[in-house]
Structure 1
């Protein structure tokens, strides 16, 4: 069986900024211990969620909650629950969702950061059709401190392709979330077809 239609690792290599050097990570305990005598700096750190003894009991962790699609032409957003078991997520590639052709839409993601600060989160997405890359997205999510509430990030809007040719066949999408340390927090494939209606 040919893998020409698959999204490969080479398709998902994040770009790097020239001369950008990643500094070694510090734990929350190390960050809160810095400049202890500066009261205003300590208050600022607490406002960022850098509380000494703030429940950081484990390695940093990014928990991806959902990937969603919104559009002014869509009554309710399309939501992919990323907390489902990998076997269930794998079905999304074989059972493509329908996206209306020729409409403006945006993709978004929700996630929770636990225990430690995560820096340089990026969302990468490659869309292929009949083995050819038709779209590639690389969006900086940013750096986040741990908190119980989910963070939400919505990416720039795009327009879905239209026409009979665009509607024929399915599209394969591979979505990945990676940080500055090259740790992959999410990596899965899903599919969609274009239709005249949602």
Structure 2
């Protein structure tokens, strides 16, 4: 039996980072490309000083049509200092069993361009992985109007039953890009209940 040849080595090397102005001027004569770049906030003169984080997650929210109007499940993530991370880790949210819900993320691109940004969430129970969510956020530039971006994830259904309700679930959430840069990394927990 012959063995397969080894996979080819990748020789891709990313180019040097460019400013928003430099990207805006590339292929400026291509009208459709110019419109696409404008949709990402890549327009001449839109460059902002490149200081501080490129990406700031503002909040993560759980949205469900069955949730009472006066009830919200929102994580304020604007400050990810160590005391805030410690407080989030100790916070346990209650999610109603057997309901449809989706996750909504609000974030801001502060400068530059981010590409291939993903939200990755690993859920464990008794230290055993029970679920993983890997959701593409996309590629973005600074919002042309300076407003934050809002991304609604696919609808899911929460588990139900006595076994699902017993105990709590620990979650590790991360926001990363194609290059492996980690923009946010935090832990939290939830439990399932008969009511919100």
Same fold (TM over 0.5): yes
Deviation at 1:104, TM superposition (A): 1.0
| 2:98 paired with 1:106 | no
Could you tell me whether the CA contact under 8 Å between 1:104 and 1:159 is conserved in 2? Answer: yes
- Report the count of equivalent residues: 178
Q: Residue 65 of structure 1: which of 33, 58, 71 is its match?
A: 58
Match of 1:40 in 2: 31
Q: Determine the C-alpha separation between the residues in 1 that align with 2:156 and 2:33.
A: 42
Uncovered stretches (5+) of structure 1, i.e. residues with no partner:
1-18
Match of 1:90 in 2: 86
Change (3 A) 1:43 1:166: closer
Q: Determine the C-alpha separation between the residues in 1 that align with 2:40 and 2:105.
A: 21
More displaced, 124-133 or 45-54?
Answer: 45-54
Which entry has the higher C-alpha Rg, 1 or 2? 2
| 2:172 paired with 1:174 | yes
Q: Residue 80 of structure 1: which of 59, 75, 81 is its match?
A: 75
Change (3 A) 1:80 1:22: farther
> 4+ residue runs of structure 1 moved beyond 6 angstroms?
none
Deviation at 1:47, TM superposition (A): 4.6
Q: Residue 190 of structure 2: which of 189, 192, 198 is its match?
A: 192
Q: Determine the C-alpha separation between the residues in 2 that align with 1:88 and 1:153.
A: 23
Change (3 A) 1:82 1:140: same
Uncovered stretches (5+) of structure 2, i.e. residues with no partner:
1-9
Q: Determine the C-alpha separation between the residues in 2 that align with 1:175 and 1:119.
A: 19
Change (3 A) 1:193 1:39: closer
Q: CA RMSD of the aligned region, Å? A: 2.1
